[in-house]
Structure 1
Amino acid sequence: MKEDFLHYLWQFKKFDLLNLHTTKGEKIEILNSGQYLQQAGPDFFNAQLIIGTQKWAGNVEIHLKSSDWYVHNHERDAAYENVVLHVVWEHDTEIFRKDNTEIPVLQLKDYTDKNLVDSYRSLTAPKTWIYCEKELATVNSFVFANWKERLFFERLERKSLPILELAKETSNDWEAVLFCFLAKNFGLNTNGEIFYKIARSIPFSVIRKEGFEAENLEALFMGRAGVLKGDKEDVYYKDLQARYNYLFTKYRFEEVYINELQFFKLRPDNFPTIRLSQLAQLYHLHQNLFSKIIEADSLKSIHDILRIQAGDYWQTHYQFDKESTRKRKTLSSSFIDLLVINTVIPFKFAYNKYVGKESDEEMITLLQEIAPEKNAVIDKFRYYKVPVESAYDSQSLLQLRNEYCAYKKCMQCALGLELIKS
């Protein structure tokens, strides 16, 4: 048993309220169970209780055993001096404040329905993947739908935080912020952090000035990535190298250490050279990309903006000095969908939050038009009969798995609470 189950019992009063007594036999009446703030200090703040004939206002601390009070060194912490009731599953020792007054104790196991305890233990018994794997498909569809929406916006909130932080750092230069996060996601998981560092090393004012020549942007990106060092016979390589050296001097760039770009185990179309060229073409073709993305109100309009291809040289190359069969290196629909999921929607959400605009329905509608991601987590949910019809579903379920199931937060999950009730 975990303390979060006891928090659930106390918060929602899931025990016999009519016959409560302390371990010393004093009657307890709960007027207000307090605020469950989930922060440092006692578990529930500003509770109101009648113990015996005395009315109390103060905090409630919850433990599996009374002795946990001393295990956690609460007797040394002034934040716990205002605890008026110690709620435990099992009472094994008396607890005293600094002034030697005893803290009343409620032993919850004496007042909790056995069937509820059995439901909790059944839910949290060891499973092959997550606790509720076999019961997931039985959860009320209305409860599941509401919880998915909450999970989706929790995930968006988390994704929007670094965007808002960078906006603050750049004095709200939203074009620059978009550039950095698009660059990161052009690099995918393998080169994403490197691409982000490259983007951060180039003032966006330079992108604005040089964007009229795609080769200058490509030279900037390749040069900052460190792939234009050394000698090659390739004419295009030499041209980019000369352009970068000129731009480096013109804008007085500082040297930046960038980890070596990774090609290993990547499909050729995902090679960093191809993605950097495509990124350069995107900012060459769209001088006001931020405005266009914000104003785009449909998945098709976003695809139309982002459907670009690498420069001419890269139609017959994947790396410098290595010619290949001609192939148009256009951003695929599936790659654009990834950009929408991981960049465009979090960015729109963050910007709308910044300007105070409501955009919840727009975010959901956009993702419901996109096919769900394919990964091991989503495959598992499907295996346990959970419908996954769009990226809206898959994003919600990834939040569920990563932020709740992985940490066994069943008592903070609407699905866990519903299963225990049923």
Structure 2
Amino acid sequence: MKEDFLHYIWKFKLFSVSNLQTVTKESVIIKNSGEHNFNSGSDFFNAQLKIGNQLWAGNVEIHIKSSDWFVHGHEKDSNYDNTILHVVWQHDMDVHRKNNSIIPTLELKNYIEPKVLYRYQQLFSSQNKWINCEKHIRDIDKFQLSSWLERLYIERLEEKSKLIEQLLFNSKNDWETVLFKMLAKNVGLKVNGEAFFNLANYLDYSIVRKQLHNLKSLEALLFGQANFLNEDVQDYYYSTLQNEYEFLKSKYALSNSPSINFQFFRLRPNNFPTIRIAQLAALLNQKQNLFSKIMAVTSVKEYYELFDISVSEFWKTNYSFTSKSKKSNKKFSKPFIDLLLVNTIIPLKFMYFKSIDKLNENNIINVINQLKPEKNSIIDKFTELEVVSTSALETQALLQLKNNYCNKQKCLKCVIGTNLLVKNLHKKR
């Protein structure tokens, strides 16, 4: 038994509300169960109750046992003197206010609907389950599930906004700087994301901005700061970048980046950090005023066009400074652009339009719904449970569900869990 279950029971009155009595046999009539408080203080504020012949207005505190009042130290806090009812699962002792008056206590265990209690026990008692509701999640109404996934996706965007907020604060609200750092972080994907992010954070974007019109200088700056120009490679292009970087290093008083651990091992050549740096440089060079263009784009097709770039001549025939490849433009693939949209562009647009009070969530949802569902072990497991994703919105939402609800046992704050708890239940009033 957990307190949040009792909170849920009280909030939605999932118990027999007729003939309620305190442990001292006073009648209890609930006029208003109060406002659920998720911060410090009583569990429910501004409740209205008739206890015996007296109408009360005040707060309700909920515990598993009455003695938990003292376990939580409420007897030392005068804020709890305004408690008009102590709701518990089991009454094991009286609780007093500071003036020594007894706080009326309602023992819920004899009033809760048997079906609700059974379903709660079924939901939380079984062991070795990937998620608590895995046997029944397939039975959830599709409309309810779809609405819940949309809410989860917006919640995920809110969480991703926290990093953007911090970057904005650090850059004094320079959105182009934030775009550069977020692009760098996500161009590196999981394997090299941290290394790319460290590179972007160490490099002053004002210097990058000055090189945007000169691809050779931009490549020299990025490869040099990434410590890829410290070797003795006998190649004209490599020597050109070395010389250009030495010039930039002197001009801007640059120092070498701290050790950045870029990984090549077990990566496909197209994902080598050298290729990703070349692509990032090409994007910044070929798409001037990138932030403004991104904010103006409204369709997935336009995004694909915006991110349609090709690397410089050297990188068309190389994967690294010492490994050759068949000639190709090494453009961003559509699946890779989708990842950039999911992890960088859409969160950034969400945050930007929210900051200027012009956010239209439907526009955001329309774009993410056009992207193909992601593939990973969590999504594969949901598919096994017959929750099949049809878009990136749904896969992002399912990741949010698994990580922030299922893993944390927050079933009573989840539409799926609460739906299973009260499904086909006729509450007695």
* Structure 1 and Structure 2 fold alike (TM over 0.5): yes
- Distance in 2 separating the partners of 1:303 and 1:79: 58
- Distance in 1 separating the partners of 2:71 and 2:264: 51
Query: 1:192-211 counterparts in 2 under 5 A?
Result: 192-211=193-212
Query: 1:208-287 counterparts in 2 under 5 A?
Result: 208-287=209-288
- Distance in 2 separating the partners of 1:411 and 1:260: 43
Amino acid at match of 2:399: L
Kindly indicate whether the alpha-carbon contact (under 8 Å) linking 1:275 and 1:310 is maintained by their aligned counterparts in 2. Answer: no
Amino acid at match of 1:21: Q
Secondary structure (helix, strand or coil) at the match of 1:70 reads helix
Cα drift, residue 219 of structure 1 = 1.5
Query: 1:66-85 counterparts in 2 under 5 A?
Result: 66-85=66-85
- Distance in 1 separating the partners of 2:189 and 2:228: 18
Q: 1:98 to 1:240 in 2, by over 3 A?
A: farther
**Identity over aligned pairs, percent:** 47
Secondary structure (helix, strand or coil) at the match of 1:404 reads helix
Amino acid at match of 1:27: S
- Distance in 2 separating the partners of 1:333 and 1:145: 26
Query: 1:325-364 counterparts in 2 under 5 A?
Result: 325-364=326-365
Where structure 2 has 5 or more consecutive residues not aligned to the other structure, the ranges are 424-429
- Distance in 1 separating the partners of 2:413 and 2:122: 17
Query: 1:3-18 counterparts in 2 under 5 A?
Result: 3-18=3-18
Deviations, residues 314-354 of structure 1 (Å, cap 9, x unaligned)? 22222222334434322111101100111111111111101
Kindly indicate whether the alpha-carbon contact (under 8 Å) linking 1:198 and 1:258 is maintained by their aligned counterparts in 2. Answer: no
Kindly indicate whether the alpha-carbon contact (under 8 Å) linking 2:220 and 2:244 is maintained by their aligned counterparts in 1. Answer: yes
Deviations, residues 55-105 of structure 1 (Å, cap 9, x unaligned)? 332222211122222222333344433322221111122223344332221
- Distance in 1 separating the partners of 2:77 and 2:265: 53
Deviations, residues 242-291 of structure 1 (Å, cap 9, x unaligned)? 22222122122344424311222222111111101100000000110001
Q: 1:83 to 1:238 in 2, by over 3 A?
A: farther
- Distance in 2 separating the partners of 1:91 and 1:5: 17
Q: CA RMSD in A?
A: 1.8
- Distance in 1 separating the partners of 2:183 and 2:69: 49
Q: Are positions 1:181 and 2:157 aligned together?
A: no
TM (norm. structure 1) is 0.95
- Distance in 2 separating the partners of 1:78 and 1:276: 60
- Distance in 2 separating the partners of 1:3 and 1:133: 23
Secondary structure (helix, strand or coil) at the match of 1:25 reads coil
Amino acid at match of 2:64: L
- Distance in 1 separating the partners of 2:79 and 2:232: 66
Where structure 1 has 5 or more consecutive residues not aligned to the other structure, the ranges are none
Amino acid at match of 2:253: R
Q: Indicate the residue corresponding to 2:23 in structure 1.
A: 23
Secondary structure (helix, strand or coil) at the match of 2:152 reads helix
**Across the two proteins, how many residue pairs are aligned to each other?**
422
- Distance in 1 separating the partners of 2:94 and 2:235: 81
Q: Indicate the residue corresponding to 1:146 in structure 2.
A: 147
Deviations, residues 169-207 of structure 1 (Å, cap 9, x unaligned)? 323221111111111100111221221221122233222
Amino acid at match of 2:247: Y
Kindly indicate whether the alpha-carbon contact (under 8 Å) linking 1:43 and 1:61 is maintained by their aligned counterparts in 2. Answer: yes
- Distance in 2 separating the partners of 1:414 and 1:291: 38
Amino acid at match of 1:115: K
Amino acid at match of 2:206: S
Kindly indicate whether the alpha-carbon contact (under 8 Å) linking 1:43 and 1:62 is maintained by their aligned counterparts in 2. Answer: yes
Kindly indicate whether the alpha-carbon contact (under 8 Å) linking 2:58 and 2:82 is maintained by their aligned counterparts in 1. Answer: yes
Amino acid at match of 1:9: I
Cα drift, residue 380 of structure 1 = 1.0
Q: Indicate the residue corresponding to 2:289 in structure 1.
A: 288
Kindly indicate whether the alpha-carbon contact (under 8 Å) linking 1:197 and 1:258 is maintained by their aligned counterparts in 2. Answer: no
Amino acid at match of 2:183: L
